[in-house]
Amino acid sequence: MKSIFIKLLFFASVIGLSSCEDVIDIDIQDGVEQLVIDAWITNKDEDQVVKLSLSQPYFDNSTPRAVTDATVILFDEDSVAYPFIDLNQTGEYTLPREANGFLKENKRYALYVKYKDQEFAALSLYRPVPKIDSIAYEFFEFPFAGQDSTETSGYFAEFYANDPIGEGDTYWIRTTKNANLINNAASISISYDGGFSPGGGTDGLTFILPIRQSINDGFYQHGDSLDVELWSITPDAYLYLLQVRQESANGGIFATPPANIPTNIFNLDSRSEVKALGFFGISQVSSLSAKIDSTKARPSE
């Protein structure tokens, strides 16, 4: 099974013939600046942060401007308010770690943001998450190095978890390799009932192999650490991330027409022309860490 990976790469290089990519300059029209809300609230034992910034022209590579004069409040179903404060004026509105621990399973939460007389809101649900049972890894060797890599051998890891029975469970798998979060948008790993997408018939199964193996970024080597997190996201977060991934790696001959990434943030005044970008999600997180140890590797096939 592992060798599929090598072979696919080999075919890709055979088929690839002489295709190439050149970075070029293009002139495009600028749009109007918009509020961007980046909010993930989890049960992780750390400060909870809601980031506010402004959108900018697409090819403007300067640091985005932070929004520091907004009001940010999280509400639970009983209208209990959890205010987030931008103490350092960096646009990072924070609920301190000590105040955390209030999230309750299957309860809905609302984020409220007020900026320049416009009031925005978004809803999410705190869903249960299965535990990660184990992480296994196996050694193998490439005939040649992969793209953007010089390593020809190493360990290929996979995690094991089971999707609970009941359709419509959606997940985000986030991996940290040697304390660096693998944050490449093109390789965002999301799962629907342990499979790729709805209708996959995978409800109640062990997460399928390609998802289990989605925690790799090149090879792991002896001594490397990896932390795998399984996030229980809502189905609309799944769709949001799906679109983020799609729009981040949408080149080549099988590209789809570019489309805007949907947001779950809405203006409380539905007649207002002012819209916000970004996403608000609540998630329960289970995690498991491992340190690659050559003596504990699964025997090769």
Partner 1 sequence: MKKLLLLGFFCLTSFVGFSQNVSLSGYIRDASNGEGMIGVSIYVQELQTGTQTNAYGFYSITLPPGTYTLNLTSIGYGQQTQKVSLSESLTRDFEMNDEASQLQEVVVKAEREDANVKSLEMSVNKVEMKTIKKMPAFMGEVDVIRSIQFLPGVSSVGEGASGFNVRGGGIDQNLVLLDEAPVYNSSHLFGLFSVFNPDAVKDVKLIKGGIPANYGGRVSSILDVRMKEGNSKKPEFTGGLGTIFSRFAYERPFLEGKGSFIVALRRSYIDVLAKPFLNEDLKGSQFYFYDFTAKGNYKINNNNTVFLSGYFGRDVFGADFGFNWGNATTSLRWNHVFNDKLFMNTTVFYSNYDYLLDSDLNNEEDQDSFRWESNIENYSIKPDFQYYINPNNTLSFGGQSIYYRFNPGQAEAVSGGESRSIGLPDKYAVESGIYIGNEQKVNSRLSLQYGIRYSDYRYLGKGNKVLLNTEGSVAGEQKEVTDIIQVGQGELIQQYGNWEPRFSANIGLGRNSSIKVSYNRLAQYIHLLSNTTASSPLDVWTPSSNNIKPQISDQVALGYFQNFDDNNYEASVEVYYKELQNQIDYTRNANLLLNPAVEADLLSGDGRAYGAEFYLKKNRGKFNGWISYTLARTERLVDGLNNNEWFPARIDKMHNLSLVSIFDTGKKWSFSGTFNFSSGTPASFPTNKFIWQGIALPHNYYDTRNSYRIPASHRLDLSATLQNKHAFFKKGESEWVFSVYNVYNRRNPFSVYVRQNEDNFAQTEAVKYSVFASILPAVTYNFKF
Residue 200 in contact with partner 1, rule: CB under 8 A: yes
How near is the Cβ of 144 to partner 1 at its closest, in Å? Answer: 10
Q: Among candidates 113, 154, 126, which has minimal Cα distance to 6?
A: 154
Binding mask 246-265 for partner 1 (x = CB under 8 A): xxxxxxxxxxxxxxxxx---
Q: Is the Cβ–Cβ distance between 129 and 231 less than 8 Å?
A: yes
Beta pairing, strands 35-42 & 277-291: parallel
> Does the footprint of partner 1 cover residue 208 (CB under 8 A)?
yes
Q: Does 89 bind partner 1 (CB under 8 A)?
A: no
Nearer to partner 1 among residue 45 and residue 148 (C-beta): 148
How far apart CA 137 and CA 22 sit, in angstroms, is 36
Interacting positions 112-171 with partner 1 (CB under 8 A): 143, 148, 160, 162
The number of CA neighbours under 13 Å toward the Cβ of 223 is 0
Interface with partner 1 includes 277 (CB under 8 A)? yes
The answer to whether residue 38 forms part of the interface with partner 1 (CB under 8 A) is yes
Question: How many residues make contact with partner 1 (CB under 8 A)?
Answer: 83
Per CB under 8 A, the segment of 21-29, 76-84, 103-111, 221-229 that binds partner 1 is: 21-29
Q: Is the dihedral of CA 289, 228, 122, 91 positive or negative?
A: positive
Mask of contacts with partner 1, 40-69, x by CB under 8 A? x------------x-xxxxxxx--x-----
153 neighbors 297 (Cβ within 8 angstroms): no
> What count of other Cβ atoms lies within 10 Å of the Cβ of residue 44?
16
- Does 29 interact with partner 1 (rule: CB under 8 A)? yes
